Amino acid sequence: MSVVMALLAGALAGVSLTVLGRNPRALPRSPDRHRNPVDRHGSMPIPRRWRPATRNAATPDAHVRFTRQLAALLRSGSSLDGSFATLETVWTGTVPQDHTSADIAAACRLARTSRTLGRSPGTGLSAHARAAGAYAGYWWRLTWCVSLSESSGAALATLLEHVADQLEAAADRERALDVALAGPRSTRKLLGWLPVAGLGMAQLAGANPVGVLVTDPAGRLALVAGAVLWSVNAFWAARLLAAARGRIEYP
């Protein structure tokens, strides 16, 4: 019986350590919010809400820089297919060639090829968005901008500049949220490891709490109860941090 209770307490402690070692992610949203429904007035997909793949500020900054480059080329009088061809060369030659640069170069290549075949560049962008993974929401948004410009005559450069402004605002909010949650994350880890540190210090002091917890019936009961409460605390703290991050909506 004591072996079973010790194994149960060890399993709960292992789960707690696993939860404590992970950074909580935002809580999953409802499946409907991840779809790309068809617009009532056409076949153009509605852009998803976009979030960077990682919390590294360099990832959204690359897309912001590309968006502003495309808007600047259009304002200078360059054609849309010519702008995509120029930016494909620029981002293909980026050193070092990371995943973000390769993603942007591939999108430019598909948009330029789509124009060469007599189709809208938005067709190539939407094809890339379907395979873009973490960056899909961003490319759906650019597809929407191109389609809106073609259907309404709105200046594409202006639309792109608005997208860049929103991406910068989202990145700023992400960084501010990381700073605000740094304290709660540290407190969560500290409180999670505090019981282990207390047991270790007491054992080194000669109080032998491990022996009491393993051999004494009341100690075994206390061990199991403590492991359960410790696991609940780790899980609930992770959920609270995830919920705090999930409250932020990104354009």
Query: How confident is the model over 173-207, as pLDDT tens digits?
Result: 888 888 888 888 888 888 788 888 888 888 888 88
Q: What does DSSP assign to residue 45?
A: B
> Cα dihedral angle (157, 163, 169, 171), rounded to 10 degrees?
-110
Helices marked H in 44-135: 58-75, 80-92, 99-116, 121-130
Compare 2 and 131 and report the one with higher pLDDT.
Answer: 131
38 phi/psi in degrees, rounded to 5:
-85, 135
Q: Could you give the count of Cα atoms lying within 13 Å of 23 in the half-sphere of its Cβ?
A: 6
- Give me the mean pLDDT over the 234-247 stretch: 78
What pLDDT sits at residue 26? 42
CA dihedral 235, 237, 238, 244 (to 10 degrees): 140
Q: Reduced to 3 DSSP states, what percent helix, strand and coil does the chain have, rounded to the nearest 5?
A: 75, 0, 25
Q: What are phi and psi of 108, to 5 degrees?
A: -60, -40
Asked whether residue 149 carries a pLDDT value surpassing 80, the answer given is yes
**Segment among 10-14, 185-189, 205-209, 227-231 with least mean pLDDT:** 10-14
Q: Rounded to whole angstroms, how far apart are CA atoms 147 and 139? A: 12
pLDDT tens readout for residues 76-92: 999 998 999 999 999 98
- Higher-confidence residue of 109 and 49: namely 109
Alpha-carbon span 26 to 24, nearest angstrom:
7
State the pLDDT confidence band at 214, using cuts at 50, 70 and 90: confident
